[in-house]
Amino acid sequence: MSENASTGTAGTIAFLGLGHMGGPMAVNLIKAGHTVVGFDPVPAAVEAAKEHGVPMAGSAAEAVEGAAVVLTMLPSGKHVLDAYRGVDGGPGLLSVAAPDTMFLDCSTINVDEAREAAALAVEAGHRSVDAPVSGGVVGAEAGTLTFMVGALPEDFDTVKPILEHMGKRIVHCGDHGAGQAAKVCNNMILGVSMIAVSEAFVLGEKLGLTHQALFDVASNASGQCWALTTNCPVPGPVPTSPANRDYQPGFAGALMAKDLRLAVNALESTGVEGRMGHLASEIYDAFAAGEGAARDFSGIITDIRDKSGK
Protein backbone atom coordinates (compact mmCIF):
# COMPACT_ATOMS: atom_id res chain seq x y z
CA MET A 1 0.00 0.00 0.00
CA SER A 2 1.42 3.38 -0.99
CA GLU A 3 1.89 6.18 1.56
CA ASN A 4 0.67 9.73 1.12
CA ALA A 5 3.85 11.73 1.77
CA SER A 6 2.08 15.02 2.54
CA THR A 7 -0.10 13.63 5.32
CA GLY A 8 1.77 10.52 6.38
CA THR A 9 -1.46 8.57 5.85
CA ALA A 10 -2.22 5.58 3.61
CA GLY A 11 -2.92 6.52 -0.07
CA THR A 12 -6.36 7.31 -1.46
CA ILE A 13 -9.30 5.71 0.31
CA ALA A 14 -12.25 4.80 -1.94
CA PHE A 15 -15.28 5.08 0.37
CA LEU A 16 -18.34 3.21 -0.89
CA GLY A 17 -21.67 3.70 0.89
CA LEU A 18 -22.16 7.21 2.27
CA GLY A 19 -25.38 6.62 4.21
CA HIS A 20 -26.16 7.35 7.86
CA MET A 21 -22.88 5.82 9.05
CA GLY A 22 -20.59 6.10 6.03
CA GLY A 23 -21.23 9.81 5.49
CA PRO A 24 -19.87 11.02 8.83
CA MET A 25 -17.12 8.37 8.87
CA ALA A 26 -15.81 9.67 5.52
CA VAL A 27 -15.90 13.22 6.84
CA ASN A 28 -13.77 12.20 9.84
CA LEU A 29 -11.19 10.58 7.55
CA ILE A 30 -10.94 13.78 5.52
CA LYS A 31 -10.61 15.88 8.71
CA ALA A 32 -7.70 13.63 9.72
CA GLY A 33 -5.89 14.38 6.44
CA HIS A 34 -6.78 11.33 4.34
CA THR A 35 -7.51 11.61 0.63
CA VAL A 36 -10.99 10.18 0.16
CA VAL A 37 -13.02 9.56 -2.99
CA GLY A 38 -16.61 8.51 -2.35
CA PHE A 39 -19.31 6.72 -4.28
CA ASP A 40 -22.97 6.02 -3.53
CA PRO A 41 -25.70 5.13 -6.08
CA VAL A 42 -28.34 7.22 -4.28
CA PRO A 43 -28.38 10.89 -5.44
CA ALA A 44 -29.43 12.21 -2.00
CA ALA A 45 -26.44 10.50 -0.37
CA VAL A 46 -24.14 11.94 -3.05
CA GLU A 47 -25.46 15.48 -2.48
CA ALA A 48 -25.17 15.19 1.31
CA ALA A 49 -21.61 13.88 1.04
CA LYS A 50 -20.59 16.67 -1.32
CA GLU A 51 -22.10 19.27 1.03
CA HIS A 52 -19.90 17.85 3.78
CA GLY A 53 -16.80 18.15 1.62
CA VAL A 54 -16.43 14.53 0.43
CA PRO A 55 -15.23 14.39 -3.22
CA MET A 56 -17.44 11.96 -5.15
CA ALA A 57 -16.67 9.74 -8.16
CA GLY A 58 -19.17 8.97 -10.93
CA SER A 59 -19.00 5.21 -10.37
CA ALA A 60 -17.67 2.71 -7.87
CA ALA A 61 -15.04 1.58 -10.40
CA GLU A 62 -13.85 5.17 -10.87
CA ALA A 63 -13.52 5.62 -7.09
CA VAL A 64 -11.55 2.38 -6.74
CA GLU A 65 -9.08 2.91 -9.60
CA GLY A 66 -5.77 3.95 -8.03
CA ALA A 67 -7.04 3.65 -4.45
CA ALA A 68 -4.90 1.98 -1.80
CA VAL A 69 -7.91 1.16 0.40
CA VAL A 70 -11.47 0.26 -0.59
CA LEU A 71 -13.69 0.93 2.44
CA THR A 72 -17.27 -0.35 2.19
CA MET A 73 -20.13 0.68 4.53
CA LEU A 74 -23.08 -1.06 2.87
CA PRO A 75 -26.49 -2.35 3.99
CA SER A 76 -25.83 -6.12 3.73
CA GLY A 77 -23.46 -8.92 2.77
CA LYS A 78 -25.14 -9.28 -0.60
CA HIS A 79 -24.29 -5.65 -1.37
CA VAL A 80 -20.67 -6.27 -0.40
CA LEU A 81 -20.28 -9.50 -2.39
CA ASP A 82 -22.07 -8.03 -5.42
CA ALA A 83 -19.80 -4.97 -5.34
CA TYR A 84 -16.67 -7.14 -5.04
CA ARG A 85 -17.70 -9.54 -7.84
CA GLY A 86 -19.70 -7.17 -10.08
CA VAL A 87 -23.32 -7.58 -11.19
CA ASP A 88 -25.14 -7.46 -14.53
CA GLY A 89 -21.91 -7.76 -16.48
CA GLY A 90 -20.42 -4.71 -14.73
CA PRO A 91 -16.84 -4.93 -13.47
CA GLY A 92 -16.31 -6.18 -9.93
CA LEU A 93 -14.21 -4.00 -7.67
CA LEU A 94 -11.74 -6.84 -7.11
CA SER A 95 -10.91 -6.82 -10.81
CA VAL A 96 -10.72 -3.02 -11.05
CA ALA A 97 -8.44 -2.46 -8.04
CA ALA A 98 -4.66 -2.32 -8.30
CA PRO A 99 -2.85 -5.41 -6.95
CA ASP A 100 -2.47 -5.59 -3.16
CA THR A 101 -5.34 -3.17 -2.47
CA MET A 102 -6.72 -3.26 1.07
CA PHE A 103 -10.42 -4.21 1.05
CA LEU A 104 -11.77 -2.94 4.36
CA ASP A 105 -15.43 -3.80 4.96
CA CYS A 106 -17.08 -2.01 7.90
CA SER A 107 -20.67 -3.13 7.09
CA THR A 108 -22.47 -5.55 9.41
CA ILE A 109 -22.83 -8.82 7.47
CA ASN A 110 -22.97 -12.59 8.01
CA VAL A 111 -19.79 -14.21 9.32
CA ASP A 112 -19.86 -16.65 6.38
CA GLU A 113 -20.23 -13.77 3.91
CA ALA A 114 -17.29 -11.94 5.51
CA ARG A 115 -15.13 -15.05 5.13
CA GLU A 116 -16.29 -15.47 1.53
CA ALA A 117 -15.49 -11.80 0.77
CA ALA A 118 -12.03 -12.21 2.30
CA ALA A 119 -11.33 -15.40 0.31
CA LEU A 120 -12.38 -13.67 -2.94
CA ALA A 121 -10.20 -10.64 -2.19
CA VAL A 122 -7.15 -12.73 -1.33
CA GLU A 123 -7.67 -14.95 -4.40
CA ALA A 124 -7.72 -11.78 -6.55
CA GLY A 125 -4.36 -10.68 -5.10
CA HIS A 126 -5.65 -8.23 -2.50
CA ARG A 127 -5.81 -7.90 1.29
CA SER A 128 -8.99 -8.12 3.32
CA VAL A 129 -10.25 -6.93 6.70
CA ASP A 130 -13.72 -7.10 8.26
CA ALA A 131 -14.29 -4.31 10.77
CA PRO A 132 -17.95 -3.89 11.77
CA VAL A 133 -18.74 -1.14 14.23
CA SER A 134 -20.85 -0.34 17.24
CA GLY A 135 -21.69 3.16 18.43
CA GLY A 136 -24.34 4.18 15.90
CA VAL A 137 -24.68 7.47 14.04
CA VAL A 138 -23.72 9.48 17.13
CA GLY A 139 -20.45 7.53 17.38
CA ALA A 140 -19.84 7.85 13.65
CA GLU A 141 -20.21 11.63 13.85
CA ALA A 142 -18.10 11.98 16.99
CA GLY A 143 -15.40 9.57 15.77
CA THR A 144 -15.93 7.38 18.83
CA LEU A 145 -16.99 4.09 17.20
CA THR A 146 -15.81 0.71 18.43
CA PHE A 147 -14.35 -1.42 15.61
CA MET A 148 -14.31 -5.21 15.92
CA VAL A 149 -11.63 -6.38 13.52
CA GLY A 150 -11.05 -9.69 11.74
CA ALA A 151 -7.69 -9.58 9.99
CA LEU A 152 -4.25 -11.10 9.59
CA PRO A 153 -1.91 -9.42 12.11
CA GLU A 154 -0.01 -7.40 9.46
CA ASP A 155 -3.28 -6.21 7.90
CA PHE A 156 -4.57 -5.18 11.32
CA ASP A 157 -1.46 -3.05 11.79
CA THR A 158 -2.13 -1.39 8.42
CA VAL A 159 -5.78 -0.49 9.03
CA LYS A 160 -5.55 0.42 12.72
CA PRO A 161 -4.32 4.00 12.14
CA ILE A 162 -7.13 4.54 9.62
CA LEU A 163 -9.79 3.16 11.97
CA GLU A 164 -8.44 5.31 14.81
CA HIS A 165 -9.59 8.37 12.87
CA MET A 166 -13.19 7.10 13.01
CA GLY A 167 -13.27 5.28 16.34
CA LYS A 168 -11.84 5.19 19.84
CA ARG A 169 -11.68 1.42 20.48
CA ILE A 170 -10.14 -0.84 17.85
CA VAL A 171 -10.21 -4.50 18.91
CA HIS A 172 -8.38 -7.19 16.94
CA CYS A 173 -10.70 -10.20 17.38
CA GLY A 174 -8.85 -12.73 15.21
CA ASP A 175 -8.58 -13.84 11.59
CA HIS A 176 -10.98 -13.10 8.69
CA GLY A 177 -14.61 -13.06 9.89
CA ALA A 178 -13.72 -12.69 13.59
CA GLY A 179 -14.89 -9.06 13.66
CA GLN A 180 -18.34 -10.06 12.42
CA ALA A 181 -18.35 -13.02 14.83
CA ALA A 182 -17.68 -10.72 17.80
CA LYS A 183 -20.36 -8.27 16.67
CA VAL A 184 -23.02 -10.95 16.20
CA CYS A 185 -22.29 -12.58 19.59
CA ASN A 186 -22.38 -9.23 21.41
CA ASN A 187 -25.62 -8.14 19.79
CA MET A 188 -27.27 -11.48 20.51
CA ILE A 189 -26.50 -10.90 24.21
CA LEU A 190 -27.92 -7.38 23.89
CA GLY A 191 -31.17 -8.44 22.17
CA VAL A 192 -31.83 -11.28 24.60
CA SER A 193 -30.98 -9.18 27.67
CA MET A 194 -33.19 -6.26 26.59
CA ILE A 195 -36.16 -8.62 26.29
CA ALA A 196 -35.38 -10.13 29.71
CA VAL A 197 -35.10 -6.70 31.36
CA SER A 198 -38.33 -5.53 29.71
CA GLU A 199 -40.24 -8.64 30.79
CA ALA A 200 -38.94 -8.13 34.34
CA PHE A 201 -40.16 -4.51 34.45
CA VAL A 202 -43.64 -5.49 33.18
CA LEU A 203 -43.76 -8.35 35.68
CA GLY A 204 -42.70 -5.92 38.43
CA GLU A 205 -45.55 -3.57 37.42
CA LYS A 206 -48.04 -6.45 37.73
CA LEU A 207 -46.61 -7.38 41.13
CA GLY A 208 -46.89 -3.80 42.42
CA LEU A 209 -43.16 -2.89 42.32
CA THR A 210 -42.14 0.62 41.32
CA HIS A 211 -39.69 0.92 38.43
CA GLN A 212 -37.22 2.65 40.74
CA ALA A 213 -37.38 -0.12 43.35
CA LEU A 214 -36.69 -2.83 40.78
CA PHE A 215 -33.91 -0.75 39.23
CA ASP A 216 -32.27 -0.05 42.61
CA VAL A 217 -32.18 -3.76 43.41
CA ALA A 218 -31.34 -5.27 39.99
CA SER A 219 -28.73 -2.67 39.03
CA ASN A 220 -26.79 -3.57 42.18
CA ALA A 221 -27.48 -7.30 42.03
CA SER A 222 -27.05 -10.20 39.63
CA GLY A 223 -29.56 -8.79 37.13
CA GLN A 224 -27.16 -5.97 36.32
CA CYS A 225 -26.49 -5.47 32.58
CA TRP A 226 -26.16 -2.68 29.94
CA ALA A 227 -29.79 -3.06 28.86
CA LEU A 228 -30.79 -2.18 32.44
CA THR A 229 -28.20 0.34 33.58
CA THR A 230 -27.55 2.34 30.37
CA ASN A 231 -30.50 1.73 28.02
CA CYS A 232 -33.14 1.21 30.72
CA PRO A 233 -36.48 0.50 28.94
CA VAL A 234 -38.62 2.49 31.41
CA PRO A 235 -38.40 6.27 31.90
CA GLY A 236 -36.97 7.57 35.17
CA PRO A 237 -34.15 5.47 36.59
CA VAL A 238 -31.62 6.33 33.81
CA PRO A 239 -32.50 9.85 32.56
CA THR A 240 -30.41 9.51 29.36
CA SER A 241 -32.05 6.28 28.13
CA PRO A 242 -34.32 6.44 25.02
CA ALA A 243 -37.37 5.56 27.17
CA ASN A 244 -37.24 9.15 28.45
CA ARG A 245 -37.73 10.55 24.94
CA ASP A 246 -40.54 8.28 23.73
CA TYR A 247 -38.06 5.68 22.46
CA GLN A 248 -36.40 7.84 19.83
CA PRO A 249 -33.28 5.84 18.81
CA GLY A 250 -30.63 5.16 19.95
CA PHE A 251 -30.38 1.84 18.27
CA ALA A 252 -33.37 1.32 15.99
CA GLY A 253 -35.52 -1.82 16.17
CA ALA A 254 -34.87 -2.52 12.46
CA LEU A 255 -31.12 -2.74 13.10
CA MET A 256 -31.57 -5.02 16.12
CA ALA A 257 -33.85 -7.27 14.00
CA LYS A 258 -31.19 -7.36 11.26
CA ASP A 259 -28.38 -8.20 13.69
CA LEU A 260 -30.43 -10.98 15.32
CA ARG A 261 -31.13 -12.50 11.89
CA LEU A 262 -27.35 -12.58 11.39
CA ALA A 263 -27.03 -14.23 14.81
CA VAL A 264 -29.61 -16.87 13.86
CA ASN A 265 -27.75 -17.55 10.60
CA ALA A 266 -24.55 -18.03 12.62
CA LEU A 267 -26.34 -20.30 15.15
CA GLU A 268 -27.67 -22.42 12.30
CA SER A 269 -24.44 -22.65 10.34
CA THR A 270 -22.54 -23.72 13.46
CA GLY A 271 -25.27 -26.01 14.85
CA VAL A 272 -25.37 -24.21 18.21
CA GLU A 273 -28.42 -24.84 20.41
CA GLY A 274 -29.37 -21.16 20.62
CA ARG A 275 -33.01 -21.08 21.63
CA MET A 276 -32.84 -17.64 23.22
CA GLY A 277 -31.17 -16.18 20.13
CA HIS A 278 -33.84 -17.67 17.84
CA LEU A 279 -36.66 -16.39 20.07
CA ALA A 280 -35.14 -12.92 20.37
CA SER A 281 -34.89 -12.80 16.57
CA GLU A 282 -38.60 -13.73 16.20
CA ILE A 283 -39.61 -11.14 18.80
CA TYR A 284 -37.59 -8.33 17.18
CA ASP A 285 -38.73 -9.28 13.66
CA ALA A 286 -42.34 -8.77 14.82
CA PHE A 287 -41.39 -5.50 16.55
CA ALA A 288 -39.59 -4.18 13.45
CA ALA A 289 -42.47 -5.15 11.13
CA GLY A 290 -44.41 -2.20 12.58
CA GLU A 291 -43.54 1.17 14.11
CA GLY A 292 -40.78 -0.48 16.13
CA ALA A 293 -38.53 -0.39 13.06
CA ALA A 294 -37.81 3.29 13.64
CA ARG A 295 -38.04 3.28 17.45
CA ASP A 296 -35.28 2.42 19.87
CA PHE A 297 -35.07 -1.34 20.42
CA SER A 298 -35.87 -0.81 24.14
CA GLY A 299 -39.41 0.09 22.96
CA ILE A 300 -39.96 -3.69 22.91
CA ILE A 301 -41.27 -3.18 26.46
CA THR A 302 -44.39 -1.48 25.09
CA ASP A 303 -45.17 -4.57 22.96
CA ILE A 304 -44.66 -6.83 25.99
CA ARG A 305 -46.90 -4.59 28.13
CA ASP A 306 -49.59 -4.38 25.43
CA LYS A 307 -49.69 -8.16 25.13
CA SER A 308 -49.82 -8.66 28.90
CA GLY A 309 -53.45 -7.61 29.40
CA LYS A 310 -54.86 -5.35 32.09
Catalytic residues: 183
Supply the minimum distance, in Å, between the C-beta of residue 166 and ligand NAD: 12
298 forms part of the interface with ligand NAD (CB under 6 A): no
Q: How far is CA 209 from CA 223, 237, 263, 298, in A?
A: 16, 14, 34, 20
Give, as ranges, the residues between 49 and 68 that touch ligand NAD (CB under 6 A): 60
> C-alpha 125: how far from its chain's center?
27
**Which positions from 77 to 116 touch ligand NAD by CB under 6 A, shown as an x/- string?**
--x---x-----------------------xx--------
Choice from 74, 94, 131, 232 touching ligand NAD (CB under 6 A): 74
Nearer to ligand NAD, 137 or 209 (CB): 137
Supply the minimum distance, in Å, between the C-beta of residue 145 and ligand NAD: 8
Nearer to ligand NAD, 39 or 201 (CB): 39
Nearer to ligand NAD, 33 or 75 (CB): 75
Nearer to ligand NAD, 225 or 260 (CB): 260
Please give the size of the binding site for ligand NAD, defined by CB under 6 A. Answer: 26
Interface region with ligand NAD, contact rule CB under 6 A, candidates 34-42, 119-127, 150-158, 240-248: 34-42
Residue 296 one-letter amino acid: D
45 forms part of the interface with ligand NAD (CB under 6 A): yes
Nearer to ligand NAD, 19 or 237 (CB): 19
254 forms part of the interface with ligand NAD (CB under 6 A): no
Supply the minimum distance, in Å, between the C-beta of residue 273 and ligand NAD: 26
Q: Measuring CA to CA, which residue among 140, 198, 192 is closest to residue 166?
A: 140
CB atoms within 10 A of CB 42: 11
20 forms part of the interface with ligand NAD (CB under 6 A): yes
**Which positions from 204 to 243 touch ligand NAD by CB under 6 A, shown as an x/- string?**
----------------------------------------
Choice from 3, 7, 33, 75 touching ligand NAD (CB under 6 A): 75
Three-state SS sequence of the chain: CCEECCCCEECCEEEECCCCCHHHHHHHHHHCCCCEEEECCCHHHHHHHHHCCCCECCCHHHHHCCCCEEEECCCCHHHHHHHHHCCCCCCCHHHHCCCCCEEEECCCCCHHHHHHHHHHHHHCCCEEEECCEECHHHHHHHCCEEEEEECCHHHHHHHHHHHCCCEEEEEEEECCCHHHHHHHHHHHHHHHHHHHHHHHHHHHHHCCCCHHHHHHHHCCCCCCCHHHHCCCCCCCCCCCCHHHHCCCCCCEHHHHHHHHHHHHHHHHHHCCCCHHHHHHHHHHHHHHCCHHHHCEHHHHHHHHHHCCCC
169 forms part of the interface with ligand NAD (CB under 6 A): no
d(CA 301, CA 189): 17
17 forms part of the interface with ligand NAD (CB under 6 A): yes
Choice from 2, 42, 47, 291 touching ligand NAD (CB under 6 A): 42
Write out the residues near ligand NAD by the rule CB under 6 A: 16-22, 39-42, 45, 60, 73-75, 79, 83, 107-108, 133-134, 136-137, 255, 258
